[in-house]
Structure formats: structure tokens, C-alpha cells
Structure 1
Amino acid sequence: MIGTSTIAGQYMTDAIRAQAGAEVTWALSTSASRAQSFADAQGIARSSDNLAEVLADPKVDAVYISSINDRHYAQAMAAIAAGKHVLCEKPLATDIDQAIDMVRAADQAGVTFATNHHMRCAGSHRAIRDVIQSGQIGRVLSLRLFHAVELPAHLRGWRLDNPAAGGGVIADLTVHNADTARFLLGEDPHSIVAQSCESGFGQGVEDSAMSIWSMHSGAMVFSHESFTHPYAGAGIEVHGSKGSLFAKGVFAQDPGGSITLNTAEGEEEISFDHHSLYGEVIRDFTACVATGNAPSATGWDGVKSMIIADTVKKAAQTGTVQSPDFRGAP
């Protein structure tokens, strides 16, 4: 565990231990005392503030990186150089070129590199994609992603005041919406317009953003994310030529929410699997390490979500239409 984050403690340690034959062997932080406290709380045998010490342990097959965003690059590159498989939190880095370097280095080293875009592993998101692909709503005309929430008090640190560390709602939540749109529609945007603002929490970084994306298929995507909306509710709407999907409460760390399909035949509730999102991420990741198959969210998926989010930021800052430069990413 590289980084002693809230998500690492609340979700990922148990998710790893739920896999047959898997164990968490180290907790690493830049603070030795924090690493020790995390290890004690999670029942992890060893802790350190020395990454080289952790990576030198032959028992370590893979690392999960959930440190502050600006530390991901150096930590991932060191792990890859040591021959370790990598599951990295989004965004992969604070610089797109660094994220691309990470993914290419993993490819060259022959190790699995995955992005923790956990929403792809939600039963709700998979059910929405299945309905779209089945043709029940016809041709997709528009997708609405509303991910405006109130940032919990214990997370109101660097996300609200440190752009160099990857602060701001675009780096934190727009990447989620970008990956969700790509996962559901199977395509990338070709142009984006946006606006952003500081609406109460941000101190030198945006805490709310809205953007509209034009897709190559002709579909339009509306993306709304915020740190300042306590009662907005988060969800997804997909509107097609033959029907519409309304998904509520499906942008979450825990499984839940509901999905309703409206067509000429009336209203229908869509059932879906309520499995653990992070448990599914780790199950998928460990299977890919064993088989060499591509994970559910690859490093390139992480790169593309970063590029889309960066394009949203540029569109908001300039007030102009911006086109993502995917830089040859597959």
C-alpha cells in the first residue's frame, strides 16, 4: 500500500485480502509514524517511509498507489523498474506526459498497469452499458453525468487549495465522468466547451465545473461536477431515440442506487449486481496479473480520462472550444 489514504484504509485493504492467496505486506507513507499508525489500524505486519525498502521485498508482487497525485509518477516508475505490477489511483499523475511515460514503461517492463477507475466495475454502470448496447434505447442522443456532491470534511485538504498536487474538482471528479462516458459509449469526445468557478470551498482552484462534449457518433455529453452541493444527488441519464435511462445514486464508493428505463412500453426498473466495487477492481486486477490480460481500466484509460479533464480545464480557462489531443493513445 503506497499511500495511507482514506480509500486505502476503508476499502482497498479488505478488497485485497478478499482475494484467494492475497495479503497486504507493507504500508508506506512519506511519514514513518503515519505508516506505522496505518499498519497498526489495518493489521499490516510491516510499515516504512522508504519506498526502496518496500520494493526490495521479494514477497511484494504488486503495489497499490493512493498517495497524493503529484507523488504517483515517481512511485509508479520505481515500482515498474522493480518489476512490480501497479494499480494506481486516478488521476495517474499531475502531468499527462508523465502518465504516458508510466504506462509505456509498464508495457516495456511487461508488468500489469491498471487505473483504479472503480466506477467501471460497478454493477450499475455495467447494467447501463448493457442496455445501451442491446439497442433498447435506440441511438444514443445525449448523456448527462451529474456528479455534484459535497466534499467530505476529512478530504478538504490539498484538493481545495493545492493545484500543484492535483487539487480542484476537475482533476478529482471530471476524470470519473470522462471514464464513465468512455465506458458507456465506447468513444472519445472530439470537442469540448466548459465553465468552472470557485463556489465556496476552492481556494485558488475550481470547486465546480460544467462542460459539454461533442462525440464522434453525434451524441452530446453534459458533465457537471462539484465539491459544494450537499443535496444535489449524483447519477446518470442516457437519452436515446427509442428510450431513456435514469440512474440515481450510482456515482458512489458503495454499491447502490436505482436504474429506470422509460420507453413506449412504459417504465421498467433495471436490476443489477450489487457487488463491492473495489472488490471487483482487485479481483479483475489479480486475474490480469495471473493471465496477462488487460485490466478493466488500463493505464491508457487513465491517460485518456486525464486528457479529457485537462481539455475541460483549458476550455473553461480560455472560454473557447477545445479539442482533446490524445497523443496517439490507443
Structure 2
Amino acid sequence: MPALKWGLIGASDIAATRVIAAIHATGAEVAGVVSGSPERARDFAASHGLPRNTADLDELLDWDIDAVYISSANALHFDQAVRALRAGKHVLCEKPLALGASQAEAMVTLAEETGLVLAANHHLPGSPLHVKARELVAAGAIGTVLSAKVAHAVLLPERLRGWRLGQGIPGSGVIMDITCHDASVLNPLLGAPVAVTALAVRQAGWNTGGQEDAAMTVIRYENDGQAPVLAQTHDSFTVGYAETSLEVHGTDGTIQIIDAMTQDTKGQLILTTGDGTRSVDVDCSEDLYVIGLRAFTAAVEGTGVPAATGRDGLMALKVALAAQESAISGRTVHIN
């Protein structure tokens, strides 16, 4: 199959710093970019050597492209993805897929009906560290899983302290930005999320946007015939001196991943059982976005599946939405 031709929807920081390079690393090409601002589209294309730019989405969808990468404002994801799918383009969409579960469900259904690939650009599920953790759990290395804990507290870079902290901006806040990523890791590891309890606060003195920048959640998971599993997450934009981590506790052991949740993780996986504690070799040398783009390409070619499918993105969104609702209402929120 010829190399994929991509169109970029959104002249974003993540496209500039991560995804364009990952697309090129898979041997694909980027045909150009669309942005709501003609000037931004032009400047972005010039900065990254893209041959075309436009402010008209329909024009981009008429180009000779196979797939689109959507990294526009969160409120635009649903409409842009639907238009791309209806135009016959495969879609890789930044999280969250949409602002509501019903919209994300409609995106997934449309992709299935049209036979096109829809994937969420969650970079963590494809990480070799998390793949290995899922393999160990599936093999019974720690017995029956009882609980999990995610530490995903980081310091938000100054260049990103814009819309993410703006109160009233759709999709802003630490829950939609980070807890959503946690769920993309926990869901395929633990099963079906059924209830979420969360608290969220504003901590940073530099956070003048008014949106919460730190949150803790407890998620209940259930699987038929097994005891419920509890997962705890700590997500923050305010912590500058801590490593991220994931722990999974079972009846016969514990998996601990140090430096587990960042974009450039060089983490270490440690397995502790009755036989002692040992480090499990995992090759973390490859860029996570290259892994994700390669998996997406394989899905388009019919030889694989995305690292995070559209349905995976939907379920991660449901957890984040439930956490957001719980933080506001002060109640446990059940997931349908």
C-alpha cells in the first residue's frame, strides 16, 4: 500500500512538536494544514515545510489525502471528524474525541458504518511499558488484580498555560487534559469503569484562568465474575519535582512502573511477587507518537489496530466526564 497522505486539521503545538515528525518517521507525508486563521495556517505551513495551507476545511478534504489528524480546539473535534469521515478520510483525533459521550459515540458509529479508521491520539496505551503491564496481568503474574494507582502530577509548561486553564473554555481543566489519559491506560488494564468519585481544586498562584489545576479520583472497575477493582489517580499541572508512576496490585504481586505517564518516558517496570523483586526489561527507546502512528497506519492497511481505537477514546472520555461531574456535584457518578 502506498504511504499515507495526511492533512492536518489545526495548527497546534502538539502537531508542531510531536505529530508531524511522527508522521514522517512512518514514511508518510503531510499534504498541508487547515486553521481557522488564514495567517496562522500560512505561518504554520511555512515553519514546517508543508506544501499547502488553507482556512477552509472543505478545501483540505478535497485534497489528495487519505487521513486527517485533528488537533484543533476541543469544541471543534466532533464536527470536523464527522465531516472528514463523510468525505472518506480516516481520522486520528486528539483527545477528547468530543465534549460529550453521545457525540463521541456518534463518531465511533459513523466510522464503523463507513469502514474507516477512527482513533484517539492517546499516546500512553501503546507505550511498551503499559503493553508489558497488560501482558503480565493477562498472564496472571500478579494473580487477581485488586487495585491500581496512578501518579500523574506534573508541572504544566508556561507555553501551554492558555486555554487549558480558562474557566468556561470547553475541554479545559486538568481532568479533561490528564485524567482522560489515565483512563486510556487503566481501562484496557482493569476492565469496565462503572463509577467515579473526584475532587478538584485550583492551587497554582500563576493560574489566573480560574480552572481547576489539580484533581484526585477513585474509579471503580467491574468484570463479570470477579471482585471489583479500585483505581486511584492524582493529576496535576502544579507539581514540578516528582516522577509519574503506575502501580497495579494483585493477590500474588505488584507491578510498579516508574516514570510511566510522560511523553518521553524512559521508565522502569518492577515486578514484586513471593519470589522477590525484579526489574523487567522493556525497550523504551522509540517515540510514543511514532508507535501510535505506526499502529494507525497498520489499521488503515488492515493489518493491525490503533493503539487507542475510537471506542477506547470514547470510554476514556466517559471516565473524564464522570470525574468532572463528580468534582462539581460532590457525588459519585455512575457510568452508563
Task: Tell me if 1:207 matches 2:218.
Answer: no
| Aligned counterpart for 1:23 among listed residues 12, 26, 29 | 29
Task: Tell me if 1:231 matches 2:241.
Answer: yes
**Would the aligned equivalents of 1:94 and 1:164 in 2 still touch at CA under 8 Å?**
no
Aligned partner of 1:328 in structure 2 is none
| Aligned counterpart for 2:310 among listed residues 275, 282, 299 | 299
Task: Tell me if 1:155 matches 2:165.
Answer: no
After TM superposition, the score normalised by the length of structure 2 is: 0.92
Aligned alpha-carbon RMSD (Å):
1.5
Q: How far apart are the structure 1 equivalents of 2:235 and 2:48?
A: 32
Aligned partner of 1:115 in structure 2 is 120
Offset of 1:120 from its aligned partner?
0.9
For structure 1, list consecutive stretches of 5 or more residues without a partner in the other structure. 326-330
Aligned partner of 1:67 in structure 2 is 72
Task: Tell me if 1:256 matches 2:266.
Answer: yes
Q: Which amino acid aligns with 1:147?
A: H
Offset of 1:162 from its aligned partner?
4.0
Offset of 1:293 from its aligned partner?
5.3
Q: How far apart are the structure 2 equivalents of 1:226 and 1:251?
A: 12
Is the partner of 2:215 in helix, strand or coil?
strand
Offset of 1:116 from its aligned partner?
0.8
Q: How far apart are the structure 2 equivalents of 1:55 and 1:292?
A: 25
**Would the aligned equivalents of 1:121 and 1:277 in 2 still touch at CA under 8 Å?**
yes
Offset of 1:202 from its aligned partner?
6.2
Task: Tell me if 1:194 matches 2:204.
Answer: no
Aligned partner of 2:3 in structure 1 is none
Q: How far apart are the structure 1 equivalents of 2:141 and 2:114?
A: 43
**Would the aligned equivalents of 1:168 and 1:202 in 2 still touch at CA under 8 Å?**
no
**Would the aligned equivalents of 1:73 and 1:99 in 2 still touch at CA under 8 Å?**
yes
Q: CA 1:204–1:97 in 2, change beyond 3 Å: closer, same or farther?
A: farther
* More moved, 198-207 vs 45-54: 198-207
Give matches, 1:46-65, under 5 Å.
46-57=52-63, 59-65=64-70
Offset of 1:279 from its aligned partner?
0.6
Deviations 1:249-285 (A, max 9, x none): 1211124111111222222111112222111111111
Is the partner of 1:295 in helix, strand or coil?
coil
Give matches, 1:53-132, under 5 Å.
53-57=59-63, 59-132=64-137
Q: How far apart are the structure 1 equivalents of 2:107 and 2:159?
A: 30
Q: Which amino acid aligns with 1:316?
A: A
| Aligned counterpart for 1:175 among listed residues 176, 180, 196 | 180
Q: How far apart are the structure 1 equivalents of 2:322 and 2:174?
A: 14
Alignment identity in percent? 39
Q: Which amino acid aligns with 2:331?
A: T
Aligned length: 322
Aligned partner of 1:11 in structure 2 is 18
Deviations 1:140-175 (A, max 9, x none): 111001111111111111100143331001111111
After TM superposition, the score normalised by the length of structure 1 is: 0.93
Q: How far apart are the structure 1 equivalents of 2:105 and 2:140?
A: 35
* More moved, 165-174 vs 32-41: 32-41
Q: How far apart are the structure 1 equivalents of 2:323 and 2:208?
A: 17
Offset of 1:39 from its aligned partner?
1.4
Is the partner of 2:109 in helix, strand or coil?
helix
For structure 2, list consecutive stretches of 5 or more residues without a partner in the other structure. 1-7
Q: Which amino acid aligns with 1:226?
A: S
Offset of 1:295 from its aligned partner?
2.3
Deviations 1:197-242 (A, max 9, x none): 1112263321111111222142110011111111132110111111
Offset of 1:243 from its aligned partner?
1.2
Is the partner of 1:145 in helix, strand or coil?
strand
Aligned partner of 1:310 in structure 2 is 321
